[in-house]
Structure 1
Amino acid sequence: MEIDAIIQNQLAQNPTQSYPMTDTNILQYNCGNSNGDKAKPGFDSIDPSRFPILAIQEPMVTERNPGYTYTPRNYRTSRPVSLGMRVVFMIHDKVPLTAWKHVSATDYTELLQVSLNGTDLQIINIYSPPGPPSAPTIDKWEELEQVLRQTKPGNLLLIGDLNCHHPAWGGRRIDPEPRADHLIKRLERFQLTLLNQPGTATWGRGGRDSTIDLGFATPGLIPMVMKYKPHPE
């Protein structure tokens, strides 16, 4: 399922910029290791004028072709593709190379810095595997904490597939997991606030659904976030 994260740029649009934007629209999408034939039509239907930045989790990278994952036309990956990577950004080529910077990455986390129309934005993309519900932390907490410590003061958006459950995002019918409680408390130390609407499903299969794709933002960014919810298919 795709998630729209639309961030309104509150500064004046610069008409001389080669890719002027009043909104920074980010499409978050977990491919489930299948962005080949199954996901290709969806990828190719993306309007780059609306979504110049794609935050991808679980891209398909095979042993047969370890340096390749399908990328929509005129998009480039934020870093070289490699076997085992679970996150990557895809950025439309009309976004100037000087407007974004790959800061750091592991197979499961990536930090991107974007500067558009005078607004600086840091984006963390994360995939944390499911793991046992009784675990004290999400599977990739140590990697996430490390990349959080690399961020600078300012606008920060954290998005990804966290694979943990809590009523704060899953709704009142969901029992809180220890790892989700830990995530909330630790992210508060980095002044990150949840963007999800409680009970809005972000994953569905075979009649089942859940909320595992999450978004968090720092206080200065909250008023700019126009929408963080599933993208209509």
Structure 2
Amino acid sequence: MSKFEILQYNTHKSKDEVMATFLRDPEVLQASVIAIQEPWKNEYDDTTHQPSRLTHQLLYVRAIDGEVYDLYIHNIYNEPKLPTFDLLNRELLRIGRSWTIGHLILGDMNVHHPAWGGPGTKIDSEGTYLLEIMDRHKLELTTEEGIITWERG
């Protein structure tokens, strides 16, 4: 079986400085999954309907050899003051889970909790809510405790 590698990146809506450079890297394109949060969007749109208003993430999955298994990949950008985690919970309930159905949840959650931030990390209510959703759906946190997930510059 081939190696399953996931690359995740928040490009902060930057086209040329971040996103284009990232996607031109040949090593990046070898990943099984490339998940981008806050991608650059071409603002020119001559329509009046915006179906992607609430969420707009990019996801590229490269086919790999392996067993038949449904893997739902939820690429999340949790914009403050939007019901992102409520929507995630509803989607997990709708899809369900079994030995042939799995879920991979990744993204820029914009929440804090010692479970991933390590000792001394401020606990916010949305971080606790995300953990409750994970418990409810028997999901496992794979981010190492205390690992730096964001740095300025």
Whether TM exceeds 0.5 here: the answer is yes
**Secondary structure of the structure 2 residue equivalent to 1:191:** coil
Q: Could you list the per-position Cα deviations for residues 117-145 of structure 1 after superposition, in whole angstroms to 9, with x for gaps in the alignment? A: 114222111111134xxxxxx74122111
Q: Aligned pair in 2 of structure 1 residues 25, 145: CA closer, same or farther (>3 Å)?
A: same
Aligned counterpart for 2:4 among listed residues 11, 24, 28: 24
User: In the alignment, what sits opposite 2:72?
Assistant: 122
1:160, 1:174 → 2: CA distance? 19
2:56, 2:118 → 1: CA distance? 27
1:90, 1:146 → 2: CA distance? 23
- Across the aligned residues of Structure 1 and Structure 2, the Cα RMSD in angstroms comes to 2.6
Q: Which runs of 5+ in 1 are unaligned?
A: 1-12, 14-21, 68-81, 96-114, 132-137, 207-233
1:62, 1:180 → 2: CA distance? 32
Q: TM-score, normalised by structure 2?
A: 0.80
Whichever structure has more strand as a proportion of its residues is 1
Q: Aligned pair in 2 of structure 1 residues 200, 43: CA closer, same or farther (>3 Å)?
A: same
Q: Is 1:53 matched up with 2:33?
A: yes
Q: Which runs of 5+ in 2 are unaligned?
A: none
**Secondary structure of the structure 1 residue equivalent to 2:72:** strand
Q: Is 1:186 matched up with 2:125?
A: no
Whichever structure has more helix as a proportion of its residues is 2
Determine if contact 1:63/1:83 at 8 Å carries over to the other structure: no
User: In the alignment, what sits opposite 2:88?
Assistant: 144
Q: What letter corresponds to residue 126 of structure 1 in structure 2?
A: I
Q: State how many pairs are aligned.
A: 145
Q: Aligned pair in 2 of structure 1 residues 179, 60: CA closer, same or farther (>3 Å)?
A: same
Aligned counterpart for 2:44 among listed residues 61, 64, 85: 64
User: In the alignment, what sits opposite 1:196?
Assistant: 143
Kindly, what percent of the aligned residue pairs are identical? 28
Q: Report the Cα offset of residue 88 of structure 1.
A: 2.1
